[in-house]
Amino acid sequence: MLHKIKLEKFTAFESLEVTFSSGLNILIGANGTGKTHILKVLYAACDITKSKKSLSEKINKVFLPSGEQIGRLAKRKTVSTEGSVEVIRHVNNPPKPIAIRLRLSNHTKTPDKATVSGAFKQWLAHPLESVYIPVKDMMANAPGFRSLYELRDIHFEEIYADIISRASLPLLRGGVDTPRKSLLEILQKAMNGKVIQKNEEFFLKNEQGELEFTLLAEGMRKLALLWLLIQNGTLLQGSVLFWDEPETNLNPRIMKTIVEILLELQRMGVQIFLTTHDYIILKEVDLQTRPGDDILYHSLYRDPESHEIQATQTKHYLEIAHNTIDEAFGDIMDRDMVRSMGTLGR
């Protein structure tokens, strides 16, 4: 389970430390407050336990700085900068926290020149299944993409190739257990079908036949992706799901189902990190949370004086500070009010 991240002079961050819940972590904040960057660092730290890549290489591929110069990930300053990231997780056998760190400067050209330290061997000795669902859908573009990515230098962050790989994994041995079956049924009802794959191409199969993903609404592709990841056993107890802005291309009515699935996955022991700008997601989590659920809202914001990114955490929806989503509604309400009431009462 991922426990904490520390970022020092890395990308947009001057100095930030965030502690996570073992259940559902929801990151909110205005654009440019680093929500996706946190997800990418955490994902890279998880992925290397399976891919056995170096942390610096994976972070470089996931962020894809210009010219793949990893030093560009150090916080931009007029003087030389040394930046670092540290990820801390709890492992079992024996239970203890372990950490890995990546240190780089703005002069570091290649990943092999960046310094990786910490309990790296122990980190790799405890594999952590993880999946990163990016904002943009890639499932319709899956045919041939992975081989193209492997063979050619195309300018795509590695998360796009990774998600296709995860979705294309065959079923786990032993079939689908009951909790996952019930989740699959919820999704099948919402998208009115099941997903099948033929020669790297995905189709939604229902009574009308097989509909290729290119003809499917993007929102439905997201549900289908979730279905695949649950069905093939990528999302199991102990795995980590990163989802960047699930609301993109989804009708708000489907959020009820999405949140239902996310909370059930959390109850099954999947650690989840999601970023959102969406009121419906926040409110659905608030409404569907049961006693015993492990939810933590992280609010990222820029300090008005230093302009640096800071974060607050709360377990309770009504206590979310710096809630830019509610503030946006408040701003609309205020302007609507002025239009309705003019200067009365002012």
Could you say whether residue 151 binds other proteins (CB under 8 A)? no
Tell me if 11 sits within 8 A of 106, measured CB to CB: no
Please give the C-alpha separations between residue 250 and each of 131, 223, 247, 278, in angstroms, as whole numbers.
20, 9, 5, 11
Sequence-distant (6+) residues with CB within 8 A of 177 are: none
Give 185 or 329: the residue with its C-beta nearer to other proteins.
329
Please give the C-alpha separations between residue 287 and each of 182, 190, 255, 280, 290, in angstroms, as whole numbers.
20, 20, 12, 10, 9
Could you say whether residue 256 binds other proteins (CB under 8 A)? no
| Shortest distance in whole angstroms from residue 278 CB to other proteins | 11
Sequence-distant (6+) residues with CB within 8 A of 81 are: 9, 74, 75, 105, 106
Could you say whether residue 337 binds other proteins (CB under 8 A)? yes
Using the Cα atoms of residue 234, residue 236, residue 242 and residue 247 in order, give the sign of their dihedral.
Answer: positive
Only segment of 40-48, 156-164, 264-272, 330-338 that touches other proteins (CB under 8 A): 330-338
Exactly one of 69, 179, 279, 322 binds other proteins (CB under 8 A); which one? 279
AA identity, residue 46: C
| Shortest distance in whole angstroms from residue 31 CB to other proteins | 20
| Shortest distance in whole angstroms from residue 16 CB to other proteins | 28
The SS3 of residue 26 is strand
Only segment of 126-134, 180-188, 300-308, 335-343 that touches other proteins (CB under 8 A): 335-343
Could you say whether residue 287 binds other proteins (CB under 8 A)? no
Give 96 or 335: the residue with its C-beta nearer to other proteins.
335
Write the binding mask 208 to 227 for other proteins: x where contact by CB under 8 A, - elsewhere.
--------------------
Could you say whether residue 334 binds other proteins (CB under 8 A)? yes
Distance, in Å, from the CA atom of 194 to the CA atom of 227, rounded to the nearest integer, reads 8
> Which tokens go with 327?
């503030």
Give 42 or 282: the residue with its C-beta nearer to other proteins.
282
Residues in contact with other proteins, counted by CB under 8 A, come to a total of: 16
Give 171 or 337: the residue with its C-beta nearer to other proteins.
337
Buried b (16+ CB within 10 A) or exposed e, 293-327: eebbbbbbbbeeeeeebbbebeeebeebebbbbee
Exactly one of 97, 255, 283, 314 binds other proteins (CB under 8 A); which one? 283
Could you say whether residue 321 binds other proteins (CB under 8 A)? no
Only segment of 30-38, 210-218, 289-297, 338-346 that touches other proteins (CB under 8 A): 338-346
Cα of 102 vs its chain's centroid, Å: 20
Could you say whether residue 329 binds other proteins (CB under 8 A)? yes
Q: Which residue has the tokens 């079908």?
A: 193
Give 55 or 320: the residue with its C-beta nearer to other proteins.
320
Tell me if 172 sits within 8 A of 233, measured CB to CB: yes
Tell me if 204 sits within 8 A of 210, measured CB to CB: yes
Tell me if 116 sits within 8 A of 56, measured CB to CB: yes
Give 229 or 320: the residue with its C-beta nearer to other proteins.
320
Buried b (16+ CB within 10 A) or exposed e, 100-135: bbbbbbbebeebeebebebbbeebbeeebbbbbbbe
Could you say whether residue 125 binds other proteins (CB under 8 A)? no
AA identity, residue 176: V
Could you say whether residue 326 binds other proteins (CB under 8 A)? yes
Give 149 or 317: the residue with its C-beta nearer to other proteins.
317
Give 70 or 320: the residue with its C-beta nearer to other proteins.
320
| Shortest distance in whole angstroms from residue 317 CB to other proteins | 9
Give 184 or 285: the residue with its C-beta nearer to other proteins.
285
Binding site for other proteins (CB under 8 A): 279, 283, 326, 329-330, 332-334, 336-338, 340-341, 344-346
